[in-house]
Chain A
Amino acid sequence: MRIIQDKINEAVSTIMAYGGHGIRNCVQCGACSAVCPGVRAGFPLLCRNLIRHLLNGELEEIIEDASSWGCQACNRCTEVCPQGVRPQEVVFAFRRYQANQLAFSTSSVTSQMNLFETGHAVYTDPTEARKKVGLPEKTPTSAFDDQAKQEIQTLINNSPMGELGLF
């Protein structure tokens, strides 16, 4: 790796513009990664390591990496960070950058589509399970409510997500 200041500046300013304001506070102590369930699950580029690569200016080099979509948004990293980096915000900023560059991981495209179509990011057909336990087959949620679904789609179409052209 070569150290190219312009690339570092671009990566930092991009992440800051997408909401990762604390990235420059990072001293690479690793406390965030120690508590991160995503790191424990084996995602290589989360928290400490994601920040390190961004601070090295490797924005484009890691754009296809799916680790950021493994963040469970538990925010434990923010709790333990001694420097006020708010690592989860950096992860989310990197996601926003990836999304705007249409560099989605397949797992995330599925959940976006689910959200658009059913109002649930994670969706499985509930009818069988509900029938078994004696509940009405249809859930009282957007999944079976056309008006709610329509409203959700209107909201998405009029948000930055709508501009991505996924739907």
Chain B
Amino acid sequence: MAKVGVYVCHCGSNIAGVIDVAAVRDFAETLPDVVVARKDLFMCSDSGQEMVKQDIRDGLVDRVVVAACTPRTHEPIFRAAIEKAGLNKYLFEMANIRDQDSWVHAHDHEGATEKAKKIVASAVAKARNLEPLEDKFVPVTDAALVIGGGIGGISAALELANMGHKTYLVEKRPSIGGVMAQLDKTFPTNDCSACILTPMMVEAYNHPNIETLTYSEVDDVSGYIGNFTVKIRQKQTYVDWSRCTGCGDCASKCPSKTPDEFNMGLSDRRAAYIMFPQAVPKKAVVDIEHCLHCAGREIGTLPKINEKTGRPILAPCERACPAEAINRSVAYDPAGAIKEVEVGSIIVATGYQVMDKGWFKEMAPDSPNVITALQLERIISATGPTEGKLLRPSDKEKPHTITFVSCMGSRDEHFHTYCSRFCCMYMIKQARLIKEKYPDITINMHFIDVRSAGKGYDEYYTGARKMGINIFKGKVGGLEMLPDDRLRVLAYDMEAATGIEYESDLVVLATAVELPQDATALAQKLGLQFCGSNFFRELHPKLGPVETATEGLFLAGCCQGPKDIPDTVAQAKGAAAAAAVPLAQGKVRIEPIISEVHAETCSGCGICIPLCPYHAISMTTYADRPRAQIEMSACKGCGVCTSACPSGAIVLHGYDESQIFAQIEALTA
């Protein structure tokens, strides 16, 4: 007979403020096989855990039920405690009376108390039927994958590589660098973005432990912590990168123009192009979608021969390339190549995009002089379309009045309710850089309020006031287009409680930070979840900021939520440290709460195989007949196969039939 100990937690006032803990304890004492029932202010405290351990050591209990917060955060804590006291750690069951009871029924004390009793009865019923289980271990591939080559991905990859772990750095664009490479300078120190980022890009690219795969995307991920198999699609560049020297001659001869993504559409690039002057690797790509196939040079066809000269007629890019890296006669596969790598852990650092101005109809988006802040960043950058000269797009003249508008699409229930967090600071940075260079320009900044939390940030903001930048509290309500591409600003001064109306030459919108659309497809491949703000969800908002619900999968940077460069780098290094843990340990624990097929009972119908979301089930031959079998290391213990098996041949350890029926019986008693 089982000897069940029940321990009811007050959780301070989280539980005891709603539920009558003493009544639940008294009730637990009356349940079958319960030998002791106790309560404590905080069961997870040292004294609380010690109470459980002492009962185990005294031989009083051999099954433990803790009625408390949530197994999500605290099951591992109590399992470790009972293991220390010498009991198999799977002889533990948690009754969730906080997250699923006191928090949701805060206004119904009596009802919540009755529900707590049922939850405890159910947990005890299961605990009586628990069997000891043993952890299993599998070896780990000592390598990591970092998806995204912005400052977050680069920082994480360098950290892992410096710890001695082989790291694959995958970037979808032709160069690493991310959004930071597009920035002119960075707050609050006005460091030149390229000057601090480029050396890191070079270091990562040349690191002996880092294999950088640019113009590449993750195609498929299978496996589990310690043993992921990743298929990486290296998109077709139509340029032999082993020969390309990055001279850019192909780009200068290519006649096809398309908006330059790096300059946020403010200038054109060619179909054959190098992403930006400091690109790493500095290699050319032929963007086949915009390629004109000059001289009829379709990819994979032989050139026509000039009848007079007898020489082949080549496309300008081919002719221009001094390294013979462009040869359109090669039958390149448009799908590119698939590279398969094995890694033990994965860091996702895919970054963000800013909203397009087209969303904001009241903000005269059709005016060329209404731009996003990232476009302004390109305008003031020395590598940008105007080589750093501040010229407004409509007439390439210097603006006399510039308006900055905050919170476009952020803190707005029509778009995103969250604060994008770093817009206030980069707007102040842009205003300061412009004011420093052109003191005669009038700069008007409009904020709902200025969010300058960070080291040195508020001083940077008050400094902007001292420089003569006009700062108004009050959101801009609209812009009106006037003749000659001028703009009328309809604003409001909240402090003076008066409307503001003036003409402006250039209006900069701080549009919201959001996850790029292609992130959804990646999430599906990786099994990532989304949070309420539609960023990737971390395991715990406070205590698990780099982990995800999938073990071995970590997050860094803006894909987890808006954050500035210092926070991104900090999180990336944190993610690298967490991702290195399984690699350093060399083995990972597989929880025994997984499914197993009883070969004697299995009819070999195969229903379970397509149902398994983890592709863990395959067919084998047992006693000359086909039988299902489950790969232990791939099974996540979801139980889909168990519930679907018509023969009842699959058992989910830790949730077997006797345990679940006992729970149902207790709940419906």
Measured CB to CB, the residues of A under 8 A from B are 27-36, 39-40, 44, 48-49, 76, 79-80, 82-84
Say yes or no for B664: interface residue by CB 8 A criterion: no
Q: Are B501 and A80 neighbours in the complex by a CB distance under 8 Å? A: no
Contact A31 B494 (CB under 8 A): no
Question: How far is the CB of B667 from the nearest CB of chain A, in Å?
Answer: 39
Chain A to chain B contacts (Cβ below 8 Å), 5 pairs? A30-B475, A30-B492, A31-B475, A33-B477, A49-B497
Given A34-B475, A34-B476, A40-B501, does the pair A48, B413 have CB atoms closer than 8 Å?
no
CB neighbours (8 Å) of B451 from chain A are none
> Across the interface, do B500 and A34 meet the contact criterion of CB distance under 8 Å?
yes
Our pick among A28, A33, A35, A82 for the contact of B412 (Cβ within 8 Å) is A82
A80 to B491, CA, bound (A): 12
Q: Mark B470-497, 1 if CB is under 8 A from A, else 0.
A: 0001111110000000000011101001
Which residues from chain B contact A80 at a C-beta distance below 8 Å? 362, 475, 477-478
Residues in B neighbouring A36, C-beta threshold 8 A: 477, 499
Complex Cα spacing A47 to B448, Å: 15
**B176 touches A (CB below 8 Å):** no
Specify which chain B residues have a CB less than 8 angstroms from the CB of A30 in the assembled complex. 448, 473-475, 477, 492, 494
What residues of A have a CB within 8 angstroms of the CB of B478 in the complex?
34-35, 76, 80
Chain B positions within 8 Å of A49 at CB level: 497
Give complex CA distance A80, B360 in Å. Answer: 10
Contacts of B501 in A (CB 8 A): 40
CB distance from A48 to the nearest CB of B (A): 7
Chain B residue numbers with a CB within 8 Å of A76 are 477-478
On chain B, the residues within 8 Å of A39 by CB distance are 492, 498-499
- Min CB distance A26 to B, Å, is 12
Nearest CB on B from A114, distance (A): 29
Min CB distance B450 to A, Å, is 13
Choose from A28, A31, A40, A84 the contact partner of B476 (Cβ within 8 Å).
Answer: A31
User: B243 near A: Cβ within 8 Å?
Assistant: no
The reply to whether B499 and A29 contact each other, CB–CB distance below 8 Å, is no
Does B411 make an interface contact (CB < 8 A)?
yes
A40 touches B475 (CB 8 A): no
Is B362 in contact with A82, judged by CB distance below 8 angstroms? Answer: no
Given contacts A31-B476, A34-B476, A44-B497, contact A83 B492 (CB under 8 A): no
Q: Closest approach, in angstroms, between the C-beta of B451 and any C-beta of chain A?
A: 13
Q: How far is the CA of A27 from the CA of B478 in the complex (A)?
A: 18
Known A40-B499, A79-B362, A82-B414; contact A35-B490, beta-carbon cutoff 8 A: yes
Q: Which residues of B line the A interface, CB within 8 A?
A: 362, 407, 411-414, 448, 473-478, 490-492, 494, 497-501
Bound state CA distance, A32 and B362, in angstroms? Answer: 12
CA distance A82 to B497 in the complex (A): 19
Residue of A nearest to B408 (CB): A82
CA distance A49 to B478 in the complex (A): 18
Bound-state CA distance A35–B473 (Å) is 15
Residues in A whose Cβ lies below 8 Å from that of B494 = 28, 30, 33, 48
Q: Name the residue among B473, B490, B491 with the largest chain A CB count within 10 angstroms.
A: B490
Question: Which one of B407, B491, B498 lies within 8 Å of A82 (CB-CB)?
Answer: B407
Q: Which of A30, A33, A82, A83 has the most CB of B within 10 A?
A: A30
Q: Which of B414, B448, B477, B497 is within 8 Å of A27, CB to CB?
A: B448
Q: Which 6 A-B pairs have the closest CB atoms?
A: A34-B477, A30-B474, A35-B477, A82-B412, A34-B492, A31-B475
**A residues in contact with B411, CB < 8 Å:** 27, 29, 82
A84 and B407 in contact, given A32-B477, A34-B492 (Cβ under 8 angstroms): no
Bound form: Cα–Cα A86–B267 in Å: 41
Complex Cα distance A141/B474, Å? 45
List, in ascending order, chain A residues with CB within 8 A of B476's CB: 31, 34
Q: Would A34 and B497 count as touching, CB distance under 8 A?
A: no
Residue of A nearest to B362 (CB): A80
Collect the chain A residues with CB atoms within 8 Å of residue B497's CB: 33, 44, 48-49
**Residue from A44, A79, A82, A84 within 8 A of B475 (CB atoms):** A82
Complexed CA–CA distance, A27 and B501 (Å): 22
Residues of A within 8 A of B499 (CB): 33-34, 36, 39-40
CA distance A39 to B499 in the complex (A): 6
Measured between beta carbons, the chain A residues less than 8 angstroms from B490 are: 34-35
Least CB separation from A41: chain B residue: B499
| A16 to B172 Cα, complex, angstroms | 52
Residue on A nearest B474 in the bound complex, by CB: A30
Q: How far is the CA of A155 from the CA of B542 in the complex (A)?
A: 61
Taking CB as reference atom, which chain A residue is nearest B360? A80
Q: Chain B residues near A40 (CB, 8 Å)?
A: 499, 501
* Docked pose: A28 CA to B411 CA in angstroms: 12
Contacts of B362 in A (CB 8 A): 35, 79-80
With a cutoff of 8 Å between Cβ atoms, the chain B residues found around residue A48 in the complex are: 474, 492, 494, 497
Cβ A82 vs Cβ B413 within 8 A:
yes
Q: Which residue in chain A gives the minimum CB-CB distance to B447?
A: A29
Which chain B residue lies CB-closest to A28? B494
Q: How many angstroms from the CA of A48 to the CA of B492 in the assembled complex?
A: 10
